[in-house]
Amino acid sequence: MRKLYFFDTTLRDGEQSLGITLNVREKLDIAKQIVRLGVDILEAGFPASSPGDFESVKIIAKEVKGAVICGLTRCVAKDIDLCAEALHEAEYPRIHTGIAVSPIHMEKKLRLSPQQVIDRAVEAVKHAKSYMNDVEFYAEDASRSEKDFLAKILTRVIEAGATVVNIPDTVGYATPWEFGELITYVKNNVKDIDRVKVSVHCHNDLGMATANSLAGIKAGADQVEGTINGIGERAGNTSLEEVMMALYTQKQNYGIDLNIRTKEIAAASRLVSLITGVPVPNHKAIVGANAFMHASGIHQDGVLKETQTYEIIDPEIIGVPRSQIVLSARSGRHALKYRLNELGYEVQDSELEKVYENFLLLADKKQEVYDEDLHALMGVAMSEQNQFKIKNISVATSGTQSAMATITLEFEDKEVKDAAIGNGPVDAVFKAIDRITGSQAKLEDYSLKSVSRGTEAQGNATVKIASGTKSCIGKGISTDIIYASAKAYLDAVSKLNA
Ligand SMILES: [Zn+2]
């Protein structure tokens, strides 16, 4: 059995693609859950890209223990200096530096000769090495590079002290056979390759990210990079949860000692989706809502007789309880706490009273409380950062077009009331909120989804607003969709003002 290192880049490659800025608290919540899952290396950001990114890498390095904390840089001395500074308080710091190695990137993007690219790479690795021992080198666009050049540059960076060499399929161009061969080639043609770890970093442009990563692992890669739910540039990165469960399910074929707390997978997926606002498709492998549902009658019959007829993974392994329990206003604190525990939430006794209060309010409104409602309840408790409290909303609509909303908000201990007219009730509510809060942000996206089943289901509203270069998303959940929308909008305005 050999060890495979899991490298999570949800907060770097994933966040980079979102078009929103997560705040430090949101990033910390994600980072801690990813470490709880058992990931070995967490790439926290690209410190030279912005002061905000620098600050969040710094705080994650300080607060998140139990994993290597890594920062990305280009082969630029200033990037490396900032990265080392941001990682200063990390328990185990790593600098991840690199440069493009394919002919098209070297010629058209970098405008450097192959020799100049090698010189920069070597210089950068040596510079990073002056700060710390653990230095990973990425050979950007490796899958479209000339193999002998790739071997040459990797040999040189290993000589310069790199401890990990990353072979990315940056543009998602490879297919599993050739990608596996590429890793074999690297293993056979790079001097001293056995002294360092080989990493694979794949993108999903052809839907091959997980398959390519597995091909790389089979060919001897020691580290696999990816994100939770596969979020990332364009079609996304490798979904780490897919790789984990492929290795779990096919243990006998890989010989990997999987040191992952798979029961944390569902919680990690939910948290990343909640905080980033990127929904998980229902049919997504492993973590989609339908991943363990059996719709066809023949399949249902089979599963009832023997689950393994149509199920390759027991949902409980990834933290999804098999039993369905419906709670109601008659359910006590114990029942609530027990179910929350089964769903992966640790509720301290001090928090229980507040959670129970919110649960009762919800149970009064909708009678039957499903698991999805409990996730929403816990998710909102974690994500909502409203400095505003909604005291009252009333909306009057006339005809099909215009509506008037009157809102009373409480903030900084005073109540403020205002009204506005809009194209429909939600628009009117948002405009009234703008009048009270003075927000001039532009609404970029708004969506409403039901949390569970039935006409009494809760509405889950997501709002994306932008002002200048900063964008934020807000979330709100309620059995009343106007109220959910107002909460989401206020959540976003609060974050933008923060
Ligand atoms: Zn990438």
pLDDT for 163-206, tens place per residue? 999 999 999 999 999 999 999 999 999 999 999 999 999 999 99
Mean local confidence (pLDDT), 409-418 = 89
Inside any domain, residue 162: yes
pLDDT in the model for residue 385: 59
Helix, strand, or coil (residue 307):
helix
Inside any domain, residue 285: no
List beta partners, residue 164.
136, 197
Spatial neighbors of 353 by CB under 8 A, at least 6 apart, are: none
Inside any domain, residue 296: no
* Closest-CA residue to 162 (of 120, 132, 201): 132
The residue behind tokens 């009064």 is 364
Mean local confidence (pLDDT), 343-347 = 84
For residue 3, report the distance from its CA to the centre of ligand 1, in Å.
Answer: 23
For residue 236, report the distance from its CA to the centre of ligand 1, in Å.
Answer: 8
For residue 9, report the distance from its CA to the centre of ligand 1, in Å.
Answer: 8
pLDDT for 151-160, tens place per residue? 999 999 999 9
Query: Do 214 and 89 lie in a common domain?
Result: yes
Q: What is the mean pLDDT of the chain?
A: 92
**From residue 33, how far is each of 67, 77, 277, 419 by CA, in Å?**
12, 32, 17, 41
Query: Do 104 and 17 lie in a common domain?
Result: yes
Q: How confident is the model at residue 382 (pLDDT cuts 50, 70, 90)?
A: low
Radius of gyration of the chain measured on its C-alpha atoms: 25
**Environment of ion ligand 1 (residues, CB < 5 A):** 13
Inside any domain, residue 39: yes
Alpha carbons 475 and 486: distance in angstroms, whole number = 9
Could you count the other beta carbons within 10 Å of the beta carbon of residue 307?
Answer: 15
Inside any domain, residue 281: no
Query: Do 158 and 271 lie in a common domain?
Result: yes
Query: Do 201 and 54 lie in a common domain?
Result: yes
Measured N-to-C along each axis, helices 147-159 and 176-189 cross at an angle, to the nearest 10 degrees, of: 50
Query: Do 365 and 405 lie in a common domain?
Result: no
Number of domains observed in the structure of the chain: 3
Compare 56 and 349 and report the one with higher pLDDT.
Answer: 56
For residue 226, report the distance from its CA to the centre of ligand 1, in Å.
Answer: 8
CATH of the domain at 466: 3.30.160.270
H or E element, residue 291: none
pLDDT in the model for residue 65: 96
For residue 498, report the distance from its CA to the centre of ligand 1, in Å.
Answer: 29
For residue 202, report the distance from its CA to the centre of ligand 1, in Å.
Answer: 7
Mean local confidence (pLDDT), 264-285 = 92
For residue 169, report the distance from its CA to the centre of ligand 1, in Å.
Answer: 8
For residue 224, report the distance from its CA to the centre of ligand 1, in Å.
Answer: 12
**Cα-based angle 101, 194, 186 (whole degrees, multiple of 5):** 35
Query: Do 396 and 378 lie in a common domain?
Result: no
pLDDT in the model for residue 178: 96
For residue 190, report the distance from its CA to the centre of ligand 1, in Å.
Answer: 23
Torsion angle, alpha carbons of 180, 184, 185, 191, to 10: 140
For residue 122, report the distance from its CA to the centre of ligand 1, in Å.
Answer: 21
Query: Do 21 and 163 lie in a common domain?
Result: yes
For residue 140, report the distance from its CA to the centre of ligand 1, in Å.
Answer: 9
Inside any domain, residue 305: no
Query: Do 199 and 340 lie in a common domain?
Result: no
DSSP E strand boundaries for 211-253: 223-226
Q: How confident is the model at residue 459 (pLDDT cuts 50, 70, 90)?
A: confident
**Cα-based angle 314, 319, 321 (whole degrees, multiple of 5):** 70
Query: Do 126 and 166 lie in a common domain?
Result: yes
CATH of the domain at 79: 3.20.20.70
pLDDT for 230-241, tens place per residue? 999 999 999 999
pLDDT for 76-86, tens place per residue? 999 999 999 99
* Closest-CA residue to 117 (of 85, 74, 65, 162): 74
Q: Residue 12: is its pLDDT beyond 90?
A: yes
For residue 233, report the distance from its CA to the centre of ligand 1, in Å.
Answer: 7
Q: In which domain, by residue range, is 35 found?
A: 2-276
Mean local confidence (pLDDT), 33-44 = 97
DSSP string covering 82-149: HHHHHTTT-SEEEEEEEEE-SHHIIIIII---HHHHHHHHHHHHHHHHTT-S-EEEEEETGGGS-HHH
pLDDT for 394-403, tens place per residue? 999 877 678 9
Mean local confidence (pLDDT), 316-334 = 88
Mean local confidence (pLDDT), 246-263 = 94
The residue behind tokens 């949800």 is 10
Inside any domain, residue 310: no
H or E element, residue 409: strand 402-411
Query: Do 245 and 355 lie in a common domain?
Result: no
Is residue 459 classed exposed, middle or buried when 0-12, 13-18 and 19+ CB atoms within 10 A define those classes? Answer: buried
pLDDT in the model for residue 383: 57
Query: Which tokens sit at 211?
Result: 């398959």
